[in-house]
Amino acid sequence: MASPGSSRRSSSIPEFPAGGWAVPAVGLGTALVQFVAEDVRAAVLAALELGYRHLDTGSLYGSEQIVGEAVAEAARRGIITSREEVFVTTKVWCTQCHPDLILPSLRESLQNLQMEYVDLYLIHCPMSVKPTKPHYPIKREDIMPMDVRAMEECHRLGLAKMIGVGNFTTMKLKELLAITKIPPAVNQVELNPVWQQKKLMEFCREKGIHVIAYHPLGGQSRTSTPNPVLHSDVLKEIAEARGKSVAQISLRWVYEQGVSIVTTSMKRERLKENIELFNWELSNEDGLKISQIPQHKKITVLSILCPDGVSTVDISEVDVVEV
């Protein structure tokens, strides 16, 4: 379970140790399909007021500047004591994932954030793409071999307290661990009761890699397809029996796996609900029921690729699905 870790953050939200630092158990994500800048700024400020101390952004999202401005405003207003009280994550997108672009991309992110360092810098996806401005969908013919060792320089220069990866399978982690001097402190992946990542979780525990979950509530959808987490009959049954919301059951389950969480709600009442997780537990019977939920993954490499075109790199080698 979570431990206090070593941090300067003042918050009731527990933290997990990772890479010699401490990662809050719940954070606010800003990876929204569509957003209004003022809504994101208001959500960041509301989250910080409620006790959130982890803010997650990325070069692809277009929200780095907003996050930075909101943190500075929170410090001016006394919501936080200083920037050092907040754990900030950003990510390098596939188009900048090249030996000569990783460090410049981080410097650009820091300029956007108006910060001297980030707490965590992640490789967003396990593939490199022909250099352009961050975008998707990605043309298949633009996929290139990946070399991410420049991430270590970001850490050595003190621009990133920790470095890590996102959407890496066990196979991609093994490849990375074989060539790097500084192992990834974190792997941020899709994880929730309907995509439990048991094989990957076991490997990360064995290697001392902390897991951060995105889409812990099933993620946003541009279609009418029901959300498999929020519409789960199993989770609804447990929620009703415990007097909790389905979202809280899902988030508590993720937390009990020893995993940090990134949620993307912009509503204050939901932000509050999403951190009311730490004075109760799921039963063994609840855990058994959840372990038997049919598994379904939302994000795959095909979801960020153009449907046409031919890649010189085997698509299965860069996919984010692991069974």
**Residues written for the chain:** 323
If we measure between CA atoms, which residue out of 112, 103, 218, 80 comes closest to residue 160? 103
SS3 143: strand
Ranges of H-type helices in the chain: 37-50, 64-76, 102-113, 151-156, 170-177, 198-207, 233-242, 246-256, 268-273, 284-291, 315-318
Please state, in angstroms and rounded to a whole number, the distance separating the CA atoms of residues 244 and 148: 42
β-partners of residue 262 are: 27
Number of other residues whose CB lies within 10 A of the CB of residue 278: 15
Half-sphere exposure of 208 (CA within 13 A, CB side): 10
Q: Which residues of 105-137 are buried (b: 16+ CB within 10 A; e: fewer)?
A: bbeebbebbebebbbbbbbbbbbbbeeeebeee
Ranges of H-type helices in 77-117: 102-113
Which residues form the catalytic set?
61
Please state, in angstroms and rounded to a whole number, the distance separating the CA atoms of residues 246 and 240: 8
If we measure between CA atoms, which residue out of 158, 153, 188, 184 comes closest to residue 54? 188
Angle, vertex CA 223, rays to CA 220 and CA 226, nearest 5: 70
Contact 23, 54 (CB under 8 A): yes
Contact 127, 84 (CB under 8 A): no
